[in-house]
Structure 1
Amino acid sequence: MTGTRLPTRPVTTSETSPGQRKKRRRFDLLPYVLVAPLAVFIVGLALVPAGFTVVESFFKVDTLDPPTRFIGLGNFRQIFLDPLLRTTVVNTLGYVVIGTALSTILGIAMAVTLQHRFAGRSLLIAILVLPWALPGVVEGIVWTGIWDANTGLFNSVLTSLHLIDHYQVFLGQNRWLTIFLIEIVQVWQITPLSALLVLAALQNIPGDLYESARLDGCSGFQAFRRITLPLARPGIAVAMVQAVIATLNVFDQPYVLNGAAPAGSSVMIQTYLVSFQNLNFGEGYALSLLVTATTLLMSLGVVKLVYRRVEY
């Protein structure tokens, strides 16, 4: 009969053809196939070495004193009894405090400057990224020409301004001056990333908030304190975390500029010397494990103190 529609019912899975089921199964496996190479890469280069470090930190691994044997917490006890290590721990804390504070303050200032569009903004951002893109060793070599005691630019400028009457040695003489000057080099490297992270957070702040603040009579500083800083806290927190990680693991700049001298030595330099100069790999593993745990705890502390969820 014309116009009559037969009742229909949904087709169940059991009634689908084998070809359709096979096609659907392949589609479901596709995301896992795409993620598998990255997962293997992460497990092979991160998780396996991390697990190996945890296990070997409880063993005596010394090529000059074989065989490898279990000593429990012996490596950790030896670490805390080493006076040179205590010196490098204090030095590293100095790097962390100076580097995190300066890179965060400068990163916020740069991000606020770049928040609004102006002629040459894109070019300025590209130039800003260059120090972050350079390897730490290259930066150390570049800044050697600035801090050098014989032909350094810093000495030349100070003598030209008649602030000093002869060239001076700045690195290696005074402990805290050495740490500060070396950390300036690392700040030059990590500040661009901090600025970009904070800038990304600033780009999400609605412009209507600033317009309303101006209508209410808020000054530029008041708008910065009451709008910019609170709403940029997620980006600031991430910037501070990356600064903490970089400064806790600083190696290239102190080693290139000051070598293994105790005045500016860091924990990572001490780890390198223990492992590859003294060939005491067990103690090196233990020290690496402590640095990793400290980095994790300090990063979580920064997130807890600074990060706040922002909803617009």
Structure 2
Amino acid sequence: MSIEARPAAGSLPPSQPGQGKRTKTRLRRRIDLLPYALITPLIVFIIVLALVPAGMTLVQSFYKAQPLNPPNSFVGLGNFFRLFADDTVVSSMVNTGWYVLIGVVLSTVLGIFMAVTLQKPFRGRSILIAVLILPWALPGVVEGIVWSGIWDSNTGLLNSVLTSLHLIDTYQVFLGQNQFVTILLIEIVQVWQMTPLSTLLILAALQNIPGELYEAAALDGATGWEAFLRVTLPLARPGIAVAMVQAVIATLNVFDQPFVLNGAAATGASVTQQIYFVSFQNLDFGQGYALSLLVTIVTVAISLVIVRLVYRTVEF
């Protein structure tokens, strides 16, 4: 006669093999959903405000979209052909090329110089960095208005200084006369805005360079210039690359400074100004979409080239 063991009253039945593991797995899955739930609003925000407009721009750039001349119709590459046949648009592309070249070179060189100056702690360094950020914090329209007091042909500071130094006899018109001079003076205003950000990006890269490397270079007999070329520049390339990319994006999309300082004059008009004029003055949204798409493609292409040529992974 066999006696079977039965659980005592009020006791829980024995757990099945693997039941505890399944419970832990379900709990872990519930916990793993939390990060996705947290980033969902950001993903929705990016899709609604970035990807959807980008998709609409891509599609509509191949359509004739003129509210005063309906209906919309598919024209293929017709919008792009009409853009390149427009002398005003082509001139703005040339102007923007100069904006990019001057802006990227000046902001990067000045950013490196200022970052190296601020690399080592000194008295008043934090105050100087705070002052440095101010031009970057100002809107482009405000900067254009401020600098118009310098470039103005009637009461401008530049004319006043040059006249006082007897370098010129009469006040000169600097903006709107010569194309290169106009672009250079306008781009100086934008460089004044972009350089603080370039400086901070490069300075962040310099702060990661160990001081022992400079000590080793000094022991090897390297001068300050040689240490800059062989230690500072190579190890700061990630920050320099990021600074150059942000400068490319800013200069390719420059609008406020040319519009405030030079209006709609062709001597300094940028591509983004032409996007505005074509879309909202000519009410030709198809061409506006096409020109916006071209700017986006060029921005991505130049940024990839800079990252490819300049950026390097640095490990200490």
Q: TM (normalized to structure 2)? A: 0.92
Q: Residue 285 in 1 paired to residue 289 in 2? A: yes
1:274 equivalent in structure 2: 278
- CA offset at residue 26 of structure 1? 3.4
1:236 equivalent in structure 2: 240
C-alpha separation in 2, matches of 1:11 and 1:119 = 70
C-alpha separation in 2, matches of 1:198 and 1:209 = 18
Q: Residue 14 in 1 paired to residue 19 in 2? A: yes
2:40 equivalent in structure 1: 36
- CA offset at residue 165 of structure 1? 1.4
| Pair 1:22–1:305, CA change in 2 (3 A) | closer
1:203-237 CA-to-partner distances (Å, cap 9, x unmatched) read 11110111111111111111101111111111111
For residues 135-174 of structure 1, the aligned pairs below 5 Å read: 135-174=139-178
Look up the equivalent residue of 2:269 and give its one-letter code: S
Moved more, 173-182 or 152-161: 152-161
Rg larger in 1 or in 2? 2
1:5 equivalent in structure 2: none
Look up the equivalent residue of 2:32 and give its one-letter code: D
For residues 48-87 of structure 1, the aligned pairs below 5 Å read: 48-87=52-91
**RMSD (Å) for aligned C-alpha atoms:** 1.6
1:107-144 CA-to-partner distances (Å, cap 9, x unmatched) read 00000000000011111111111111111111111111
Seq. identity, % = 69
C-alpha separation in 2, matches of 1:89 and 1:72 = 22
Look up the equivalent residue of 2:119 and give its one-letter code: Q
Look up the equivalent residue of 2:294 and give its one-letter code: L
| Pair 1:151–1:13, CA change in 2 (3 A) | farther
| Pair 1:163–1:11, CA change in 2 (3 A) | farther
| Pair 1:12–1:35, CA change in 2 (3 A) | farther
- CA offset at residue 21 of structure 1? 6.7
2:7 equivalent in structure 1: none
Equivalent position to 2:133, from 107, 129, 136: 129
Q: Residue 251 in 1 paired to residue 259 in 2? A: no
Equivalent position to 1:264, from 251, 262, 268: 268
Gaps in structure 1 of 5+ consecutive residues = 1-9
Equivalent position to 1:186, from 190, 197, 212: 190
- CA offset at residue 12 of structure 1? 6.4
C-alpha separation in 2, matches of 1:260 and 1:13 = 75
1:45-79 CA-to-partner distances (Å, cap 9, x unmatched) read 00000000000011100011111111111111111
Secondary structure at the aligned position of 1:54 is classed as: helix
Secondary structure at the aligned position of 2:166 is classed as: coil
C-alpha separation in 2, matches of 1:187 and 1:153 = 19
| Pair 1:256–1:11, CA change in 2 (3 A) | farther
Gaps in structure 2 of 5+ consecutive residues = 1-14
2:11 equivalent in structure 1: none
Runs of 4+ in 1 over 4 A off after TM superposition: 10-13, 20-23
C-alpha separation in 2, matches of 1:132 and 1:11 = 65
| Pair 1:11–1:89, CA change in 2 (3 A) | farther
C-alpha separation in 1, matches of 2:109 and 2:49 = 34
Aligned residues: 302
- CA offset at residue 17 of structure 1? 8.7
C-alpha separation in 1, matches of 2:173 and 2:287 = 34
1:92 equivalent in structure 2: 96
C-alpha separation in 1, matches of 2:222 and 2:201 = 26
C-alpha separation in 1, matches of 2:16 and 2:77 = 65
C-alpha separation in 2, matches of 1:277 and 1:260 = 12
1:147-167 CA-to-partner distances (Å, cap 9, x unmatched) read 111111111111111111121
Look up the equivalent residue of 2:281 and give its one-letter code: Q
- CA offset at residue 246 of structure 1? 0.6
Secondary structure at the aligned position of 1:198 is classed as: helix
